[in-house]
A and B are shown apart, each in its own frame.
Chain A
Amino acid sequence: LAKTTQPISMDSYEGQEVNITCSHNNIATNDYITWYQQFPSQGPRFIIQGYKTKVTNEVASLFIPADRKSSTLSLPRVSLSDTAVYYCLVGDFQGSGTYKYIFGTGTRLKVLA
């Protein structure tokens, strides 16, 4: 069963770069790595996904080393509105082309003024 491990919480200050690392030691060859952001009482929102090396979009970067056993979400110059819970997910192949996505407890990021 694909499982991820993340730090429970992190604090940062406005304007700083935040890096959240996720461990997924038993990731399968075909699995992608996906990160979500969730604000209180809202559904998770897709941030970024990647397979290997580096992926960048307008809100974040995702760094994946060659062995793919971990990944790092990088949020540049965070603001107070980035205070949220961040989840790292890896798909768990169930057979017949179906995947099940298991959320961990996530990382609670608190951005301070």
Chain B
Amino acid sequence: DAGVTQSPTHLIKTRGQQVTLRCSPKSGHDTVSWYQQALGQGPQFIFQYYEEEERQRGNFPDRFSGHQFPNYSSELNVNALLLGDSALYLCASNRLGEERTGELFFGEGSRLTVL
């Protein structure tokens, strides 16, 4: 049973560029959340997708956008990259209705470095 998979694992971009990160949820899961984790900090909630719609959003600018596909996979897009966007981007999945228990399954993350 495949867990949450993310790609790419590492990437380097320059300021002003755009990046797309991808996530496939754990089998049987339909809800995907994205988190940003700066070095030495806890993961910060970006947004959550269900049924191809953004259900809730954290305190991130509109440069951060996402998409969920019919197969429940998801993309995170970041435009006009800033140095401060350098972080580990984590994808987490769960099954709708089981959110209350808080058991999220995380991928290994995509490490983005902005130069």
Are B101 and A103 neighbours in the complex by a CB distance under 8 Å?
no
Residues of A within 8 A of B108 (CB): 41-43
Nearest Cβ distance between residue B17 and chain A, in whole angstroms? Answer: 23
Count residues of A near B (Cβ-Cβ below 8 Å).
28
Q: A100-B48, A103-B43 are in contact. Are A42 and B103 (CB under 8 A)?
A: no
With an 8 Å Cβ cutoff, the count of chain B residues facing the other chain is: 28
- Interface flags, A84-109, vs B, CB<8A=1, else 0: 01010111001001111111111000
When A43-B4, A103-B35, A106-B42 are in contact, do A89 and B102 touch as well, CB less than 8 Å? yes
Nearest chain A CB to B55's CB is how many angstroms away?
5
Q: How many A-B residue pairs have CB under 8 A?
A: 68
Chain A contacts for B43, CB-based, 8 A: 44, 103
Please report the C-alpha to C-alpha distance between residue A31 and residue B11 in the assembled complex, in whole angstroms. Answer: 37
Measured CA separation A103–B55 after assembly (Å): 19
Knowing that A46-B104, A97-B97 are A-B contacts, what are 11 other residue pairs whose CB atoms are under 8 Å apart, sorted by A's residue number?
Answer: A32-B101, A34-B102, A34-B103, A41-B108, A42-B108, A44-B106, A94-B56, A99-B99, A99-B102, A103-B42, A104-B42
